[in-house]
Amino acid sequence: MSYYVGLDIGGTSIKAGLVSKGKILSKAVVKTQTRKGTKAVFRNILDAIDSVKTKDISGIGVGCPGPLDYKKGVIINSPNVPLKNFKICSKLKKRFNTKVLLDNDVNCFALGETLYGSGKDFSFVVGVTLGTGVGGAIVLDKKIYHGRSNAGEFGHMTIKYDGEYSKCGNTGCFETMCSARGILRIAGLKGLKVRSPKEIYDLATNKDKVAKKVFEEYGEYLGIGLTNIIYALDPKVIIIGGNISLAWKYFSKSMKKSISKRCMFEPSKVLKSELRFAGIIGAASLF
């Protein structure tokens, strides 16, 4: 049996898991500590790997927010992690003396879900993550589709040409509407004073009508972005992950309605992510 380490590097935490055949056998979560700089973050990455790895691992798979060069194993400039032009694969290879592969964190999420989660019965899967940003990934015949390198960056498709400014330089991106900041803006316009999507979720759970409306409107915007993806790719299924997806029961109805209203043919299935740590499992499955 082969064992791999899957690593999911994020702006808040670094998650590592010892994985075999899609099952996490042990797991470690350490703080990224981005403010302490590159050296500290890399030390935390090493700690995370050290705490789960066994002697006989066959490789380490790394998932990290892009842009990155997956072929060369270099993190180019990840906005939320201080690892610039960072040759992570060669550094980890040197330290652990094993094969190392790198890919975008959302690609890893989608691969994990396709192989072992909601997408396991489908040959053409799109993954969309809703959190600090909006991420996307394409998995075709159980393999990540990269295009030239950056296929699936759906978060920066324009949904509203005169909309809010996005960090990519564009305006009215899918991400400006459907990220945490996007849903907080919808809440603000409705007079709801909240600081995180979780607070809106808690209010909705307490039957707050305004909070429920916020999720309904959010679902409509989400439906616009997803319809564009369906028109471009017509995948068998779209899997929704990320923190905001936990509010599925509050936005999925308006999301589906928004898609049906806009799509002139039978739309792709849209499902909620099934795995708790799809990013770790997907990173370990890069091999």
DSSP class of 139:
E
Assess contact for 279 and 48: CB atoms under 8 A. Answer: no
Nearer to Zn ion, 44 or 166 (CB): 166
98 φ, ψ (degrees, to nearest 5): -150, 170
Nearer to Zn ion, 175 or 217 (CB): 175
Point out the residue whose Cβ comes nearest to Zn ion. Answer: 166
Nearer to Zn ion, 229 or 284 (CB): 229
Residues that bind Zn ion (CB under 5 A): 156, 166, 168, 170, 173
DSSP letter for each residue of 42-88: HHHHHHHHHHH--TTEEEEEEEE-SSEETTTTEEEE-TTS--EEE-H
**Smallest distance, Å, CB 36 to Zn ion?**
28
**Smallest distance, Å, CB 156 to Zn ion?**
4
**Smallest distance, Å, CB 132 to Zn ion?**
13
Token output for 33 = 């500590």
Containing 141, the helix (H) or strand (E) segment is none
**Smallest distance, Å, CB 129 to Zn ion?**
15
Nearer to Zn ion, 147 or 191 (CB): 147
| 100-104, strands of its sheet edge to edge | 23-31, 13-20, 3-9, 57-64, 100-104
Q: How many Cβ atoms sit within 10 Å of the Cβ of residue 155?
A: 23
**Smallest distance, Å, CB 44 to Zn ion?**
29
Nearer to Zn ion, 166 or 258 (CB): 166
